[in-house]
Amino acid sequence: MAYKKLALDALTVNSANDRHGELENETAAIGWLFTNHEKAMRALAKDLAETGDVYEPPLVWPNGDAYLVFDGNRRVTCLKLIAQPERAPSVELQAFFKGLKESWAGTFPTRLECQIEPDRERIDDILLRRHTGTRGGVGRNPWTDRMTATFVERTGKGGGVNVADEIEKRLQAAGALPARKIPWSTANRLLSSEGLRNRVGISVTRGKFQLTHNESLVLPIFRRVAEDLASRKVVLGDLWDNEGKVAYLDGLETEGVLPLPPLTPPVAGSGADLSPPPKPNPGLAPNSGRGPGDHTAPPVAPQPPLAPKPSKRTTLIPQVNHAVVWQAHVQRHRQIWDELQFKLRLDDHPNAISVLFRVLFELAIDNYITRNNLTAVHPNDLLKNKVKKVGGDLEAKSKIDGKYASLIRKLDNADGLFSIDTMNRYVHSPDFAPSPSHLTALWDQASRLIVVCLNA
Q: Which has the higher per-residue pLDDT, 300 or 33?
A: 33
Provide the 8-state DSSP code for 412: G
Each residue's pLDDT tens digit, 395-415 = 999 999 999 999 999 888 866
Distance CA 402, CA 395 (A): 7
Helix H or strand E segment including 368:
helix 350-372
Each residue's pLDDT tens digit, 99-108 = 999 999 788 9
Structural domains of the chain, with CATH: 2-143 (3.90.1530.10), 145-302 (no CATH), 328-454 (no CATH)
Closest CA to 358 of 294, 290, 446: 446
Distance CA 393, CA 396 (A): 5
pLDDT value, residue 161:
86
Q: Does residue 269 register a pLDDT over 50?
A: no
Q: Does residue 303 register a pLDDT over 60?
A: no
Provide the 8-state DSSP code for 326: -
265 — pLDDT class (breaks 50, 70, 90): low
pLDDT value, residue 292:
40
Burial 102-111 (b: 16+ CB within 10 A, else e): eebeeeebee
**Contact present, 219 and 174 (Cβ < 8 Å):** yes
Residue 411 pairs with which residues in a beta bridge?
Answer: none
Q: Does residue 445 register a pLDDT over 90?
A: yes
pLDDT value, residue 142:
64
282 — pLDDT class (breaks 50, 70, 90): very low
Q: Does residue 192 register a pLDDT over 50?
A: yes
Burial 114-146 (b: 16+ CB within 10 A, else e): bbbbeebeebbeebeeebeeeeebbbbbebeee
Q: Does residue 339 register a pLDDT over 60?
A: yes
Distance CA 59, CA 204 (A): 32
What value does the mean pLDDT of the chain take? 86
